A and B are shown apart, each in its own frame.
Chain A
Amino acid sequence: MQGFASSLVSVAFHGIAYGMILYVISVGLSVTMGLMGFVNLAHGVFAMTGGYVMLSAMSRYDVPFPLALCLAFVLVAAASVVLERLLYARLYSAGDLEQVLLTIGLIFMAVAAARLAYGTLQQPVNLPPYLKGQFALFGRDFPAYRVFLVAFSSVLVAVLWFGVERTRWGAKVRAAVDNRAMAQAIGINTSLLFTVTFALGSGLAALGGALGADIIAIQPIYPFENLITFLIVVAVGGMGSLRGPFVAALLIGISDTACKYWLPQFGAFFIYAATIAILLWRPAGLFGKASQ
């Protein structure tokens, strides 16, 4: 019994850490999909790029860990602006198929580029010494880095929530998600709003990819391997909201960790089955709006 309780705590803890990372990566996807209705399958590319930027900054140029994180965020956000203006913006009014194809094309290119630059092996993660080792909490030892992950992501979630719910920019975003035409009509520059939001979302994905390099291995196949997971978070949570993907990410993080721990012989079967069940029950996701 003691052993079971102990593994329960451990699964919950690792599940939450994984879920937090999933949320940080996917929240940008949720907002941009809700805002622009753009099926961006290439979101994982930003997360992977973030991971590569951080890891190579640390290993090749000895950039300290916090600075490398900032670098990943800034560089990827900047690159995403270029992509958005150059490619995405032209397809906002196109059909789903065109958007799917464009973003699959981007994934192919990113995977090939990553293979050329870094080879096919996964990148080793060298954490700074102050984040290694164990962290004692309630008489138990937890890996310090995971504790940092949960704490850092919680702060991010709080900042994000404040930004969207309490600032003028957030109000504009919510208005545009609800009704784009009306938002435009009352003088909100939706085109600029899209670009800024897209950059922020991509930057967050990069941050998530960099932070989670220890959990979700950084390798060229990353955008394909994790595509389904990120999409599940958004589809199950509901597009365009902050709360939906948060609940969905934690649910998936914990249940995936639990399945791998207790029922490894079933693999990811239950996650997919649960996704199908939830989508059939609520097609727009747990917190999505039914009309969209």
Chain B
Amino acid sequence: MTGPAHTGSYLSDPRVRPMEWLPWVLALVCYFAAPTYLPLGSYILIMILFALSLDLILGYAGIITLGHAAYFGFGAYVAAILAVRVTADPLIGIAVAGISAGLLGWLTGLVILRMRGLTLLMLTLAITSICYEIANKATALTGGADGLGGFNMKPILGLFKFDLFNKTGYLYCLLFLFVAWWLVRRIIYSPFGASLTGIRENVARMHALGSPVYQRLVAVYTISAALAGVAGGLLTHTTEFVGLKVLSFDLSGDLLVMLILGGVGRIYGAFVGPVVYLLAQDSLAKQFPEYWYFGIGLMLVLVVMFARGGILGIVDRLLLRIRRGNT
């Protein structure tokens, strides 16, 4: 793909550009500048991580899924059940949530990634729906429609307590997001990442080149599911509650909208989208819920029709125009 310079790929320079530190600086500035917004901030960080995991399979490998909430929700429920029944240690919780969501991703990926197109889309939907039904009906374990709460997380490493204003939670999420960003970035700039892009662009040719397409897809799907599970676990830990919403189709849909809004297949689209979407939602959705949903729908239609690259795509084009104007 002859993408603009922003789009990371195996062929571009893998060193971290100065611009790439901007999100982290901004995140830290927000920590000090807007202490009352930290609960929202934590949620945004979690959704960025979740969007990043989706970008890996949707943007790079081209797997169209409407059911990524399955792994997010699975991780969230695993973290909650673990906290209620076994241990409320956060780091163990995240590790178990990530690993179990990864396992679920591996198992389901093995089965569904042999399919393509509508069949694959249907299978992802059906898997999420099954998870939702199980969480809804297995009330003894999951609390059903009431959700699962009433547990208190222990301090991280026994040192940092989760506080009411979510100061610890925010930094906790930021740390995991940073690790995930580093991991995703490594993947994308690796030969493995290049083969994923190849699969997205031309599956037949990848087969012809002798690339193990199915194994590559299963591998990236597993990694993505594990990251989504970590994001789900973080949500459980910072809110000390988990409800059915984490497994709903709405969440998969919202996530897709956020990623599309930011820009698909370019790491930082997953950063920009959730920030813009969730900040706008926070200020607009409560006052005008109907207009909000209508606006989201309209925006999707417009993005598909006129601005396929999302916000970052528009920025790219503007920059390109300015640069051309200068020379």
Contact = CB atoms under 8 A, between A and B. Distances in A.
Contacts, number: 124
Contacts of A141: none
User: Most B CB atoms within 10 A — which of A107, A110, A266, A267?
Assistant: A267
Dominant SS at the B interface? helix
Interface string B110-127: 010011011101110111
A272 B134 contact: no
A267 B304 CA distance: 36
B318 interface: no
Contacts of A104: 253, 256-257, 297, 300
A227 B252 CA distance: 14
A51 B249 CA distance: 23
A267 to B, nearest CB: 5
Contacts of B123: 276, 279-280
A97 B64 contact: yes
A268 B133 CA distance: 7
A102 to B, nearest CB: 5
Interface stretch (B159-167, B186-194, B288-296): B288-296
Interface residues of B, number: 45
B308 A272 contact: no
Interface centre among A224, A231, A266, A279 (most CB of B within 10 A): A279
B129 A105 contact: no
Nearest to A105: B300
Interface string B275-305: 0000000000000011111101111110111
A279 B115 contact: yes
Interface residues of A, number: 44
Contacts of B205: none
Nearest to B66: A100
B300 A267 contact: no
23 contacts: A39-B121, A97-B62, A100-B64, A100-B66, A102-B305, A105-B297, A105-B300, A106-B297, A108-B293, A108-B294, A108-B296, A109-B298, A112-B291, A112-B294, A115-B290, A115-B293, A224-B249, A235-B119, A267-B137, A269-B130, A269-B134, A269-B137, A280-B123
